[in-house]
Amino acid sequence: MKIIIKDTAAEASAAVTEILLQQIAEKPASVLGLPTGGTPLAVYARLREEFAKGRGSYGSITTFNVDEYIGLSLHDPASYARYMRENLFEHVNVKASRTNIPDGSASDPDAEAKRYEGLIAACGGIDLMLLGLGRNAHIGFNEPGSLHHSRTRRVALTESTLEANSAYFASGAVQPTHAITMGIGTILQCRRIVVLATGPEKAEAVASSVDGVVSEAVPGSALSHHPDTTIVLDKAAARNLGIAQPMELRA
């Protein structure tokens, strides 16, 4: 596991942006796993900016988003499908036919999860998976208690996750309590994993994932099983690791 610690969240996001740009430069037909939420917004903003300057081409990549809320159509303002269009896809030359997000409006979420898992396998797997880390150390929507060999499936969201994500729903809107998410086992099959975590509110989750015991109670700890994981942090998120200065560590 490689740990990169930067002074600020902006610098950490810039480092992740460079990793993604290098990936698509070296392999233009890369298959990427992409997250949503607040943490990757700065990364997507930088990718848009670099593309506007002529850097980065997305015409041959394929993307798979990590998760989607059950009950939301792809046009719902709070859906992750719309999030991806507004924050990245509509601003770069990615082909819509190559972007994949679980269908939250599917009448049978279990069948949709199985279909999505099959799509990933049919593409030969994911080259680089970008992840955030939840305050309870969830990865994707794999909440504490998720099996480390779990596959794409329907999941119930915890109260802490619902609270953290409530800001993304308009006043009066019904917030979904379930989602379709790639499983931890699905994520661990990706060839490379990059995790971005910033801010003091993520410090406990980072410490328990990196320094704690590998446990189903801490989904992020499963990443220690993976042979090529890079965790990019700002100093605030790294503060419980006991590292005072920005640096790079390899274990």
Q: Which residues are catalytic?
A: 67, 136, 138, 143
Supply the DSSP symbol for 29. Answer: T
pLDDT of 233 over the 80 cut: yes
**How far is it, in rounded angstroms, from Cα 11 to Cα 9?**
5
User: ∠ CA 44-197-45 to the nearest 5 degrees?
Assistant: 15
CB atoms within 10 A of CB 211: 11
Please give the pLDDT value at position 244: 40
What's the pLDDT band for 242 if we cut at 50, 70, 90?
low
Phi, psi for 121 (deg, rounded to 5): -65, -40
- State the chain's mean pLDDT as an integer: 94
**How far is it, in rounded angstroms, from Cα 213 to Cα 221?**
7
What's the pLDDT band for 169 if we cut at 50, 70, 90?
confident
Write out pLDDT tens, residues 41-74.
Answer: 999 999 999 999 999 999 999 999 999 999 999 9
Token pair belonging to 113: 């999860």
> Quick one: average pLDDT of 194-206?
97
Token pair belonging to 68: 């989607």
What's the pLDDT band for 136 if we cut at 50, 70, 90?
very high
| CATH, range 10-231 | 3.40.50.1360
